[in-house]
Amino acid sequence: MFAMPEKAPLIKDDGAAVEAPLMALRVFLLRATMAFMLAASLLSGAAFLSHVQEGNAVHASYISALSVIITLVAAYHYREILKVRTYYYKDMSTKTTELVVDGLRHSDWLVTLPLLVLKLFALINNSKETVIIVDNAPLSALFAMLMVLMGAFARLGLEGNVWMGGCNGGQNIISWLLYIGSCVILVLLLIDLGGAQSGSAQAAVVWSFFLVWPGYAVIAIGSVLVRHSWMESKYPEYMSFLKDIGYALLDLWSKAVFAWYTASLAYGVRFL
C-alpha cells in the first residue's frame, strides 16, 4: 500500500523542465516523515493489543486506537504528497502542484485534527472543574473540523481561483475573513484544551502537543502573502520547501511523537 514512486530528477515550471536542487532533500524529508508516522502507528497498534490483552480500561484502548488511525492517515497523505512532489503526475504545473499538495494536507487535517482533539480530551480526562468554553469533546472535534473546512474553502476554492486566474478583490476579502474565522476557532480550541489540561494530572509535555497548532496557521498565512507577491510568476521553490519542512515538523510532533508518548504508557514507561 505504501510502495514509493520512482524519483524524478526534474520538476516542471508550467511546462518547462528545470533542475530541482532541493529535490533530494525534499524526498528525504517526506519519506522520513512517512516512515516515522508508520513507526508510530505500529507502536500504537502494539499498545492497543497490549491494553486489550491485559483488560485495561476502555479509554486507554480508545486512545491507542485513535493514535493508530491518526498516524496511518498522516502516513498515507505523506505518501501522496511525495508522489506529487516528485512529479509522479508529470503534467502538473508548479502552481497546480502547490494546490494539490495543499489539498492533500487539508484532507489529512480534516480527519486527523478532530481525532487529535478527541484523543487529547480522553488523555487529559480531567475530573476537576475547570473554566472552559465547550466542556464537550465531540463538539470541540466538530469545531476543529469546521476550522479546517474554512481554511480549505479559502485556500483551495477562493484563493486558489484568484491565484490561478488573476486577482479578484472580493474573493480576497472573503478568503481573509475565512482565515480569520479559522484562527478564532483555533484560539477557542486552545483555550478549551488549556483549561482542561491545567487541572489534570497529565505531564506538562502534553501542553506542547496542542500548543504547536498555531504554527500551522503561521505557515499558512505566510505562504498566502508569498503567493500574492508572486501572482504572475513562478512560485518560489524555497517557499514550497520551507512549507514542507514546517508542516512535517509540526506533524511529527503533534501526531507521531504524541503517539509514541501515549503508546509508551502502555508499557509502564513515560516517553518524554
pLDDT at 243: 92
Q: How far apart are CA 262 and CA 33, in angstroms?
A: 19
Q: pTM above the 0.75 mark?
A: yes
- Amino acid identity at 198: S
* Helix locations, 125-204, DSSP H: 137-152, 160-165, 169-198
The string of pLDDT tens digits covering residues 18-37 is 445 678 899 999 999 999 99
The string of pLDDT tens digits covering residues 22-80 is 788 999 999 999 999 999 999 999 999 888 877 666 778 899 999 999 999 999 999 99
| Mean pLDDT, the chain, whole residue set | 83
3-state DSSP assignment of residue 86? coil
- Amino acid identity at 54: E
Q: Domains of the chain, with CATH numbers?
A: 10-267 (1.20.1070.10)
Using the 8-state DSSP alphabet, how is residue 8 labeled? P
Residue with cell 474553502: 153
Q: How far apart are CA 111 and CA 126, in angstroms?
A: 24
Closest C-alpha to 25, from 266, 241, 223 = 241
Residue with cell 484544551: 193
pLDDT at 71: 98
